[in-house]
Amino acid sequence: MKILGRKVKPARILVYAILVATAVTMLVPFVWMLSASLKLSKDVFSFPVEWFPAQPVWHNYVDIWTKVPLALFIWNTSKLTVIVTLLQLLTSSFAAYAFAKLDFKYKNALFLGYIGTIAMPWQVYMVPQFIMMREFHLNNTHLALICLQAFTAFGVFLMRQFYQSIPDELCEAARIDGMNEYQIWWKIMLPLSKPALSTLTIFTFVTTWNDFLGPMIYLTKTELKTIQIGLRMFIAQYSAEYGLIMAASVVTLIPVLVVFLALQRFFVEGIASSGLKG
Amino acid sequence: MAVTAPVRKPRPMTPARRRLRNNVVAYSFIAPNFIGFAVFTLGPILFAFALAFMDWDGSNEMTFAGLRNFWRLFSDDVFQTALWNTLVYTALTVPLTLVCSLLLAVLLNQKVFGRNFFRTVMFFPYVASLVAVAVVWNMIFNPAMGPFNMLLVAFGLDPAHLPGWSADKNWAMVTVILFSVWKNMGYYMVIYLAGLQGVNPELYEAAGIDGANAWDKFRHVTIPQLSATTFFVSIMLTIQCFKVFDQIYMLTQGGPGTSTLVLVYHIYNEAFISWDLGYASMVALVLFLLVLVVTVVQFRRERDA
């Protein structure tokens, strides 16, 4: 077969056909969402689909901010995500340094505590965890969500794996130069572990930003809600306002899209190298 | 000019003292994470096992229930439906996702035009917020006016016999499965792409010399070479499927009826709707056992490898 004067194998055409068809399937919901967000609710379901609305209803994007505290939800989610990610990075890399480079009593037993729970689904212990948090009067606080997401076995495990690939001689040399362990961690290990740190950052960011069941159980007050459950509340309240719902959905997708496109490389490398996150 | 600075001799440390100091330093590294981990994860896990053998509504006094919660599993039709639905969901989602992600990875591992664009597009649904994509998905698959069914009508399907998708008890599970495959296959594609990096290109050359075509190479080189990756992906996928909740809550709320009710949904209902915490923990224990079986299989295989 010839296309544009070049010989093309039929197999090649099949490959592109499959790829294009799949890409369209992946993208159509987003494109439809975008186009519906610029329509009046009564026009959203008109068929055939008008992909580019002749008279885009930009007003949807103004109205959503007043109908529902969307800005507050975004702020809540960003706050939670940043705090959880920072705590996770800091405490995991700190603990992982000891597990990878130091010798101490009960090292194996403590590490087994982490490993033993890495496969434990959160859903198995979410009930007692909630009851405990309620005893601490932490339900309906952001602190509860921070506490349950910031200290994970996964973080420690990932960082320890990376630190183990750094030669011990580096630490030995630094010790001879008079550095103490904290300085070695801060001045040598942290700068060297940027790839692992960025992997962990991305995983934690996406998990926290997209977390659904946790906020749903813990946060019942509107002013505390995160973007996921806030958006859900909005959908329940304005179930027939399709245009507005779509506009709000687009707004919630933008931060993820920006972060994803900016950090995509680390993302893919992270999954490829660890492939662990469950 | 050799002026030697007075060197302060370090106080000699006894081995016992040094060991103690090393331990203290090490524990100071571990403590911030471990204390949080022990309080908010380890504690609740132990509590969960105990709670499964208790009767408790969260406010009145807790009483010991013995095996009562366990026997109740056998008479609870909703639990059995939830377990069955979870297994059906897993049995269909795992192979479908596996095949799609493997196929995409193989295609995108070649030199194709716009490779990075395609990879990005396939991966994006995985990071997109679930609530936003679930709501748009339900609108597109709205049985009465959604564009997908309208398209089917345009292709000549009888409007009286259109699939009801998430609103129809025969189609709800299909809808959830299709959604899950759509949302997650990009993630597993990336793992497969990493696996493909480890396949020795000489194997393909050798197969080519032997006269193998693309399909033969795929069957006799790619698939066997990727068996470790496939195993890993199936394990991860299976565990993910056992834990499914979010997309079901957003798409069907477990319905219609109990047609998409799954284990975690049952745990959620028993705990946070009925406040039957002991029984909810017993159902959670079943979930744990399912995941444990899969983990043990993985562990044994890794040990034998």
Mean pLDDT of chain B: 87
Q: What is the domain partition of chain A in residue ranges?
A: 2-59, 62-273
Instruction: Kindly tell me the burial class for residue A246, based on how many C-beta atoms sit within 10 Å of its own C-beta (0-12, 13-18, 19 or more).
Output: buried
Mutation target for A interface from B34, B61, B129: give the one with most A CBs within 10 A: B129
Q: Which two tokens stand for residue B105?
A: 């990875």
Instruction: Kindly tell me the burial class for residue B150, based on how many C-beta atoms sit within 10 Å of its own C-beta (0-12, 13-18, 19 or more).
Output: buried
What's the pLDDT band for B244 if we cut at 50, 70, 90?
very high
Question: At residue A221, does pLDDT exceed 50?
Answer: yes
What's the pLDDT band for B103 if we cut at 50, 70, 90?
very high
Write down the pLDDT at residue A83: 94
Spell out which residues of chain A touch residue B122, defining contact as CB-CB under 8 Å: 22-23, 26
Specify the fold of A62-273.
MetI-like fold (1.10.3720)
Spell out which residues of chain A touch residue B112, defining contact as CB-CB under 8 Å: 15-16, 19
Contact B136 A206 (CB under 8 A): no
Task: Give the one of B44, B129, B236 whose C-beta lies nearest to A210's C-beta.
Answer: B129
What's the pLDDT band for B297 if we cut at 50, 70, 90?
confident
What's the pLDDT band for A161 if we cut at 50, 70, 90?
confident
Mean pLDDT of chain A: 85
- Per-position b or e across B210-220, b if 16+ CB within 10 A of its CB: eebebeebbee
Mutation target for B interface from A123, A147, A216: give the one with most B CBs within 10 A: A123
Largest Cα–Cα separation, chain B = 103
Write down the pLDDT at residue A152: 86
Write down the pLDDT at residue A1: 58
- pLDDT tens profile A29-81: 999 999 888 888 777 777 777 788 888 888 888 888 888 888 899 899 999 99
Evaluate whether B246 touches A217 at the Cβ level (below 8 Å). no
Query: Looking at CA atoms only, how far is residue A16 from chain B in angstroms?
Result: 8
- pLDDT tens profile A245-274: 999 999 888 888 888 888 777 777 777 665
Question: At residue B7, does pLDDT exceed 60?
Answer: no
More confident residue, A27 or B3: A27
Question: Quick one: closest CA in A to B284, which residue?
Answer: A124
Task: Give the one of A36, A45, A260 whose C-beta lies nearest to B124's C-beta.
Answer: A260
Residue B6: cis peptide before it, omega within 30 degrees of 0: no
Residue A215: cis peptide before it, omega within 30 degrees of 0: no
Question: Quick one: closest CA in B to A273, which residue?
Answer: B194
Q: What is the mean pLDDT of residues B209-226?
A: 86
Specify the fold of B77-304.
MetI-like fold (1.10.3720)
**B33 touching chain A per CB within 8 A:** yes
Contact A29 B133 (CB under 8 A): yes
Q: What is the mean pLDDT of residues B23-31?
A: 87
- What count of other Cβ atoms lies within 10 Å of the Cβ of residue A106? 13
**B249 touching chain A per CB within 8 A:** yes
Write down the pLDDT at residue A277: 39
**CA-to-CA distance for A232 and A61, rounded, in angstroms?**
17
Query: Per-residue DSSP letters for A16-67?
Result: HHHHHHHHHHHHHHHHHHHHHTTS-GGGTT-SS--SS-SS--TTHHHHHHHH
Using a pLDDT cut of 90, give the percent of chain A over it. 21
Smallest CA-to-CA distance from B15 within B7, B23, B6, B26 is with B23
- Comparing A197-206, B38-47, B66-75, the range with the smallest average pLDDT is A197-206
Contact B29 A150 (CB under 8 A): no
More confident residue, A1 or B99: B99
Mutation target for B interface from A24, A26, A90, A273: give the one with most B CBs within 10 A: A26
- Distance between terminal CA atoms of chain A? 46
Contact A32 B25 (CB under 8 A): no
Write down the pLDDT at residue A201: 84
Write down the pLDDT at residue A24: 92
Task: Give the one of B26, B47, B145 whose C-beta lies nearest to A128's C-beta.
Answer: B47
Contact A129 B26 (CB under 8 A): no
What's the pLDDT band for A276 if we cut at 50, 70, 90?
very low
Write down the pLDDT at residue B305: 67
Question: Quick one: closest CA in A to B185, which residue?
Answer: A26
Write down the pLDDT at residue A273: 64
**CA-to-CA distance for B121 and B117, rounded, in angstroms?**
6
Query: Looking at CA atoms only, how far is residue A253 from chain B in angstroms?
Result: 6
Using a pLDDT cut of 70, give the percent of chain B over it. 96
Write down the pLDDT at residue A278: 35
What's the pLDDT band for B1 if we cut at 50, 70, 90?
very low
- pLDDT tens profile B158-208: 877 888 888 888 899 999 999 999 999 998 998 898 888 888 888 888 888
Task: Give the one of A103, A228, A235 whose C-beta lies nearest to B130's C-beta.
Answer: A228
Question: At residue A3, does pLDDT exceed 60?
Answer: yes
- pLDDT tens profile A91-129: 999 999 999 888 888 888 888 888 888 778 888 999 999
Which residues lie below 8 Å from residue B252, measured CB to CB, with a gap of 6+?
B166, B172, B175, B176, B259, B260
Spell out which residues of chain B touch residue A212, defining contact as CB-CB under 8 Å: 130-131, 246, 249-250
Q: Which two tokens stand for residue A166?
A: 């750094």
| B199 three-class SS | coil
Query: Looking at CA atoms only, how far is residue B100 from chain A in angstroms?
Result: 10
Write down the pLDDT at residue B11: 64
